[in-house]
Structure 1
């Protein structure tokens, strides 16, 4: 009996892989044709004569409250020049990022046919890593100085858990996350479970839109952190359930299990220090995945479902 079951499992996996490849082939045909506009380079080389032209081409990049003299002085600032040079080193060639963004846009277009790819414009923003990508309907701005690599000297004053993902490979993941927020509807988030399901939706969106990225990259973990979460999934779930935290409205819970942090806060010696942060997001991700496996729901439908619908119909069981 066991060899027969194993054979059937192999066949199922093979069929599933074949379907996935066929789907990816169809998506690739959409050809979003992304062309990244290097405003960062244009601005670094601007002169008094060229400034009016660049302002006409990119009016949204220049605040009207500053005169031309301000922008010209900025290009001559020593720190700004160093910033431009470092960005130019890391992003001498941006073609790989362009290809990844094109794949992301192809996927969004497949699931949301009304989607129209925006202009992609790169800039620098004085390492304001909390606002490294801005997305509108027609324009997306990416601050490349927030993706120079986690060990870069510019990030010396940033906490390790925050700078861990300030690298080139995360650009398309962060961009996918911004689009996930645009397409995800969730009512007011009152309970810990509300927060978990909301972030689970964002992570599932990335499963679908950037399948070429690893699971660790999609959630922003190292492989070791992801393995810790997988290994301890059952323990995490039991902890949340046994302490009746899922439906709690305690405002401290997001800081313990949802928000970016060096570790999750179980307040247990020997557990906290080893754990990655945002484990509530991780469990929410697994709940949403379970819901999609158990139900004949489209991505669009799932993204607008409320917490109760997803949780009650997920039949979620943690890995042991």
Structure 2
């Protein structure tokens, strides 16, 4: 009986220790998580004065009637192509599909406070690297789900089609391939805007080698990441967290496959559909293909460019002009487990 009581005391003491340890561990995890959530911009960027006020044309168009339409056209002439007569726009404001778009956009975006903050952070980064940059006027619209061009950026104007960001499962997107709709989320708006800016700087020179395509997209992704320093990496490339984890865990084997199959300098256009272009998954022609994320050529290109920038003192502004061979040679990219 004494031994049994001692054993019970021992068990009780152990549970007490474990309980205190679990509290400590929970507190540690909380602090780590809090640090991640409280990630901040560097002082030299955060101090840059940028104030974004989004002009919600989408709500104005949703509430206008035929009597007020002329004033709206006069205020936003660039949104009303003259190819279409006024009768077309009168009919559109009453159109059933347009009314549904208005309702769903208003539901998904009751305010744009978060978007304004994200765009401010993006524009501050751009201003830091490109001092002559002037933040454009930001106008939100509905675009009849023009998902292949969800944002339009000029020197003075940024148009954002909010109906392209209603959530990946939204019924409006039925019939569109899942690998597209996966990113029809509000978290991708600033990524798309950053990419639109980067595309003005990086020329797609039309080289036909697989490595050229990898580096081209790698430069895009690297620059987007540098302009959106608070953004999770999986959002930068448009992956789910699981897809990003898969790419990261298999990086060595992906690279090994590319090298051993002599794909880097191959000019076969099929490599684009296999590893570069939007698709359900990457195509190694192996059993695990269905489990792989798409666009792994872009992912590897991103890692090569990152290694190049880490090993060489190159200002971000100079990266767009660097050619494939220089980046590849000086990166000395050799992923390790």
TM, length-normalised to structure 1:
0.91
Shift of 1:22: 9.1
Give the Cα–Cα distance (whole angstroms) in 1 for the partners of residues 112 and 245 of structure 2.
31
1:303 aligns with 2:320: yes
Match of 2:299 in 1: 282
**1:10-89 equivalence runs, <5 A:** 24-89=42-107
Change (3 A) 1:73 1:186: closer
Partner of 1:241: 259
Q: Is residue 317 of structure 1 aligned with residue 334 of structure 2? A: yes
* Matching residue within 119, 137, 146 for 1:128: 146
In the TM superposition, residue 206 of structure 1 has moved relative to its aligned partner by: 1.3
Equivalent pair of 2:141/2:162 in contact (CA under 8 Å): yes
1:113-133 C-alpha deviation (Å, 9 max, x unpaired): 111111111111111211111
Q: Do the aligned partners of residues 179 and 53 (structure 1) sit closer, same or farther apart at CA in structure 2, a change above 3 Å counting? A: same
1:222 match: 240
Q: Gapped runs of 5+ residues in structure 2?
A: 1-34
Matched, 1:185 2:203: yes
Give 1:23 shift. 6.6
Shift in Å at residue 185 of structure 1? 3.4
Report deviation, 1:302: 1.4
Q: Could you report, residue by residue, the CA deviation over 1:212-246 in whole angstroms, capped at 9, with x for unpaired residues?
A: 11000001001110110011101100111111111
Retained in 1: the 8 A contact 2:41–2:230?
Answer: no
SS at match of 2:42: helix
- Determine if the alignment matches structure 1 residue 159 to structure 2 residue 189: no
**Distance in 2 (alpha carbons) for counterparts of 1:121 and 1:251:** 38
Partner Cα distance (1:182, 1:115) in 2: 13
The residue number in structure 1 matching 2:22 is none
TM-score, normalised to structure 2, is: 0.87
Structure (1 or 2) with the larger CA radius of gyration: 2
Moved beyond 4 Å, runs of 4+? none
Secondary structure class of the residue paired with 1:183: coil
Please name the residue that 2:5 is paired with: none
Is the Cα contact below 8 Å between 1:186 and 1:306 reproduced in 2? no
Q: Deviations over 1:82-124 (max 9, x none)?
A: 1100000110011101100110000000001111111111111
**Alignment match, 2:15:** none
Greater alpha carbon shift after TM alignment, 123-132 vs 286-295: 123-132
Pick the aligned partner of 1:273 from 277, 290, 293: 290
The root-mean-square deviation of aligned C-alpha atoms, in Å, is 1.4
- The alignment covers a number of residue pairs equal to 300
Using the TM superposition, name which of 277-286 and 47-56 deviates more. 47-56
1:92 is the counterpart of 2:145 = no
Distance 1:121 1:268 in 2: 46
1:175 aligns with 2:229: no
1:7-61 Cα deviation digits (max 9, x unpaired): xxxxxxxxxx9xxx89722111112211111011111112233222211221110
Q: Verify the 8 A CA contact 2:41 2:229 in the aligned structure 1.
A: no
- Displacement of 1:160 in angstroms is 1.1
2:40·2:230 contact (CA, 8 Å) conserved in 1? no
